[in-house]
């Protein structure tokens, strides 16, 4: 009977040890999860700082150590615009020349802003702006309207 008592004690001790190790494992897992969440919060803050810096400096000359990152962002944005143009073409939508919103082709009024539309601008050329002098659509980078001569730099 004494041996049976020793065996029962050993099994009990092993069970307590297993339970203790299991609890330790759960505690470590929980702490690792908390660390992972904090690292995620840091990464989100880094991304927010980078995005804020980019938006504030996208049109200015930046330190050369940032040039590759700015170029990568610009390149990705251009690719996104190309892909969006393909989606718009498949869906049969275009861009409103007044508000830039998506709208079905062959509509006379933008459902978003209510602006009158003679022709929906295909999304692939949505880098257009409307001349306030005559309503003609021109490229964003022009300084004068080719239809009425309006000076966009004034």
Residue 135: pLDDT over 70: no
> Mean pLDDT over all residues of the chain?
81
Residue 152 corresponds to which tokens in the numbers above? 């966009």
Tell me the CA distances in angstroms from 15 to 4, 26, 139, one per residue in order: 16, 16, 77
What is the reported pTM? Answer: 0.49
100 Ramachandran zone, left/alpha/beta (phi>0; psi -120 to 50): left
pLDDT at 123: 47
CA nearest to 119, candidates 146, 102, 94, 86: 94
pLDDT band at 126 (very low <50, low <70, confident <90, very high): low
140/57 Cα distance (integer angstroms): 20
- Summarised one tens digit per residue, pLDDT across range 16-66 is 888 888 999 999 999 999 999 999 999 999 999 999 998 888 888 888 999
Strand intervals (E) in the chain = 93-95, 102-104, 121-122, 128-130, 137-139
Residue 154 has pLDDT above 50, yes or no: yes
């Amino acid at each position: 009977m004494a041996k049976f008592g020793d065996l029962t004690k050993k099994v009990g001790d092993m069970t307590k040890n297993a339970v203790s190790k299991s609890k330790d494992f759960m505690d470590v897992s929980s702490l690792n999860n908390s660390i992972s969440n904090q690292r995620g919060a840091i990464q989100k803050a880094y991304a927010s700082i980078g995005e804020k810096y980019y938006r504030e400096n996208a049109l200015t000359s930046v330190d050369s150590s940032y040039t590759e990152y700015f170029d990568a962002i610009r390149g990705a944005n251009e690719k996104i615009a190309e892909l969006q143009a393909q989606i718009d073409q498949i869906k049969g939508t275009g861009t409103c020349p007044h508000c830039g919103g998506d709208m079905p082709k062959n509509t006379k009024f933008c459902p978003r802003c209510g602006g009158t539309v003679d022709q929906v601008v295909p999304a692939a050329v949505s880098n257009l702006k409307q001349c306030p002098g005559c309503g003609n659509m021109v490229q964003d980078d022009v300084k004068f309207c080719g239809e009425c001569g309006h000076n966009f730099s004034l």
